[in-house]
Amino acid sequence: MSNPGAYQSLRQDEAVERAALLTVTAYEVELDLAASEETFDSRTTIRFHSVGGDTFLDVKPVALRAVTLDGAVVDVATLAAGRLPLRVAEGDHELVVDAVMPFRTDGEGLHHHTDPADGRRYVYGMSFMDAAPTVFACFDQPDLKAPFTFTVRAPHDWTVTGNAPGRQVEPGLWRLEESQPLSTYFVTLVAGPYHHLAAEHDGIRLGLSARQSIARHLDADAEELFTLTRQCFDEFHRLFGIRYPFGDYHQAFVPEFNAGAMENPGCVTFRDPLVFTSRVTRGARIQRATTLAHEMAHQWFGNIVTPRWWDDLWLNESFAEYMGNRVTADVTQYGDAWVHNAHRRRQWGLVADQRPSTHPVAGNGAVDAASALQDFDGISYAKGSSVLKQLAASVGDDVFLAGVVDHLTRHRFGNATMHDLFGSWERAGAGDLSGFVDGWLRTPGVDELRLDREAGALLRVPPADHPAQRRHTVRVASATSDGDWDTRSVAIEAGSTPYAVEPGAAVVVDAHEDSWSLSSPDPTGVEALVRLLPRTDDAMLRAGIWNAVRSGLHTGRVSPADDVRLVEAGLPSERNDDGVAVVGAWALGRLRAVVEDPTDLDTRVAGAARALLAGAETGSTLQLAAYAVYVEALDDEAELRAHLGGRGVPAGITVDEAVRWRILVRLAVLGHLEAAELDAELAAAPSAVARVEHARARASLPSAEAKAWAWSHFTGASTASNYEVEAIGLGLWRRGQEEVTGPYVERYLTELPGIAEVFSGWLLADVTEAYFPLTARSPEVLERARALAGDDRLPPPVRRRVGDLADELARRL
C-alpha cells in the first residue's frame, strides 16, 4: 500500500472564500476503468459562475494531461499539493480537466479489490473528505453542490451503479442520468462483476449488490434487507412527510470499506462483512439493521440538507444515529435496538468524552477537512444521538419533528448550519434553546453522577476542565441483595440532589440511559451487584449495570479484582447475546490488560462462558456468543484442536469460517501452531474474511519472525489491504508476548514520524492506533508517547490518536 500523495487539506477559511467566489452549476465526468488495473482516465467538465478573482481547483492525479478554461490552456505545471491555481473573470465558465487517476487500496478514492476467492476485480468510490479529487477534478467542499452526470467505460462483464439511475448504452459503456445537486463527498461509483438483486417499494426501485463469491449469502439475507428498507422508508415518509428525492435506492456491499457505511444519495455503500458469510448473533443483525436505518436517515438529514462545513458534522451523524436506532426499534423486528445501542455505542462515546481530545458535539473546531475526519467519533455519534434523544423528550415529539421538517424544507438541496436547525426548532415551539446548546452541544465533557451514601444524595460532578450547567432527568434503580429493583425518576440539576438509599443497596444511576452521564458502582454497590446480577432479567437495566461497571474500570473507581468477580457472577446469567459478546470482549481485552494474573482471568472467564453455554438453548445466538467468548478464553491446546476438527464442539455450534478462524487465532496467540499451518489454512479456503484473519493470526504468533513480518507492514516494506494492515497491528501486541514485542516499542516511538509517507486519510490514524504499544507498561513509554502527541511535526490525526492512547496507557498504569 502506498500513500497517494502529500496534499494540503482544505481549511475552513479557504472554503468560505471560495464559496463566496464560485457557484458551481454542473459536473460532467467521463471515466475509463477498462484500460489498466493501476490507473484510470478521468475527464471532468465543470460549469460554474464566478464573481471574478483567484481561486484553485482540487485535483490529485497520477498525471495531469491537460486543463482548459473557456478553451484557453491552463499550465498544468502549476499543480502543487493537489491544487491547480486559477484566475477567473466575472461570468460563466467551463473548465475541462484531463487526468490519469490512481486506483487505490486504502478504502478511499476509487478503491480497487481483487477477490482472493475467485480473482474477480471490483472497484467502488469513496469520495469522503479529501478523497474526491483522486477520482475527478472538483471544487471539493460541502457547500459547493452541483448535479453530476457520469459516463463510464468498463470491462464488458461489469455493471456500473452510481448516484443516479443509469444504463449500458453499448457493451462496456454506461451513462448515468443527471443527479440531484450533490456535495462532492457524496459522489460514488460501484463498478465490477457484482451480483445484483432488485425490488420495488412505493414507486422507488430498490437494489442490493455484493461480490460474486458471497452472492449466495446476499441472496439468503435479501428478504430481510429489503423488508427493513421498506419499513424504514415508510416510517421516514410518515415522520417527515417529505418523499425520498434521489431516484433509485441502491445498497452496495463493497470490500475493504473503512467506515460502517456511507450515505451516498441513491447508492449507499456498506462494508461487505455485513453480508454474513457465517452464522452471526442477533446483535450483529441489529447492528446491520441500525446501520441500514442510519444511512436512510441521512437521505433526508445530510443529503437533502448538508452542513456548510465540517464543524457541523454532528448535524449529519448525531441525527442519523438517533433516528436510525429509533426507527429500527419502532418499526422493525428489532424492537430491542436501544439495548443493542447501550451495549455497543455508549462506552464508545463516554470514553471519547473523557479523552484529552474531547470536543464539543457542535462547533468542534474543524479547521480543515483532515482534522475534521478525527471528529467522526463516539462524541459525534453516540453522545450527539443521546443529546438529540433528550431534546426530543424535552420539547415533545411534535415540536421536534416539526422543526426538522421546517429545516429540510427551507434548505432543500442546499447547505445549513446548527443555528439554522435550532432556529427551526424554536419557530416550531421549542422556546429559547440557547441554554441547551451551551450546556450540551457547545461544552465538551461528561458529568459524573455519583452516589453519596452518607449524605443520602446524588451528586452531579462536571468535568473540572469543562464545567457547565446541565440538568439530568434519569431513572435511578436500587435494590438490596435480597430485594427487588426499585426504579424512580430523578431530576439532577444542582450539585447535590437528595436521594435516600437502603443500607447495603446497589444503586445504578441513569439505569436506562436517559441522559448523557457517567456513573459507576461504589464498593457497597459492587458487593450487592455480585449477588443481584444473576437474578436481574431486565435487559436494559443489565446493559446499564454493565456500562457502569465498565466505566468504573476506566475511571479507576472499581478495582480490576472486583470487575473479575462481577464478570464471573453476571456473565452466566446474561441473556442478551450483545451483552455476552461485549462484556466478554471487554473482559478479555481491557480488563485482561490490567489484572495481576491474566491466565487466572482467562480461566475464570472460560468458566463463566462454559456455565452460560450449559444453560443456553441449543442452536441459539446466545449459545453462539457464549462459545465465542469461551474459545477466546480457552488455553487448552488439545481441546482447541479437537474443536478445529469438529470434535467436542457443543451441539448447535457449526465450525464455519468465522468459528474456524476464531480458533486458529486463539491457537496462534498461545503459540500452538506455525505460520506454515496458517498459510495452508488460507490456501485451502481463500476468501476476503480468511485473508484478514490469517493476517491477524500470523501477527499474533509469539515469535520474532512473526513480529518482524507484522512490523514490515507498518513501515511499508510489505503491503496489504487496509483491513489486513489494521488486523496485523492489533495482532502484533499481545499481553504475555513482551519478550518478542519489546524491540518494537522503541521502533514505534522513533519511526512513527515517518508514517505519513506510507499511509494517508482514514488509514493514517487507524494504523497509528492499531500499532500503538499498549502492552508496554512503562512510565517512560508514557512520557515519550505524550511528547509525540505534542510534536507539531506530526500530522494532526497522528498526534490526536497518540494523545488518546497515551491517556489510555496512563489509566492502565
**Active site positions, annotated:** 295
146: nearest Cα among 419, 420, 415? 415
| Contact in structure between 213 and 183 (CB atoms under 8 Å) | no
454: nearest Cα among 491, 511, 498, 493? 498
| Contact in structure between 411 and 433 (CB atoms under 8 Å) | no
| Contact in structure between 424 and 319 (CB atoms under 8 Å) | no
| Contact in structure between 266 and 179 (CB atoms under 8 Å) | yes
| Contact in structure between 590 and 811 (CB atoms under 8 Å) | no
How far from chain centre, in Å, is Cα 52?
Answer: 41
- Listed in sequence order, the DSSP H helices in 301-358 are 314-331, 337-344, 346-354
How is residue 336 written as a grid cell?
430491542
Question: Rounded to whole angstroms, what are the CA distances from 462 to 178, 381, 440, 448?
Answer: 51, 21, 12, 6
Side by side, which strands form the sheet with 195-201? 195-201, 204-210, 249-254, 267-271, 261-262
Q: Residue 145 — φ and ψ, nearest 5°? A: -75, 150
Q: 10 Å Cβ neighbour count for 167?
A: 10
Strand-pairing partners, residue 80, are 83
| Contact in structure between 210 and 195 (CB atoms under 8 Å) | yes
Q: What is the DSSP letter of 753?
A: G
Q: 10 Å Cβ neighbour count for 640?
A: 20
- Listed in sequence order, the DSSP H helices in 509-597 are 523-532, 539-555, 560-570, 577-586
Residue pointed to by grid coordinates 436506532: 325
Q: How buried is 739 (Cβ within 10 angstroms: 0-12 exposed, 13-18 middle, 19+ buried)?
A: exposed
CB-based contacts of 343: which residues, under 8 Å, 6+ apart? 283, 543, 546, 547, 576, 578, 579, 582
Give the span between the Cα atoms of 212 and 781, in whole angstroms: 47
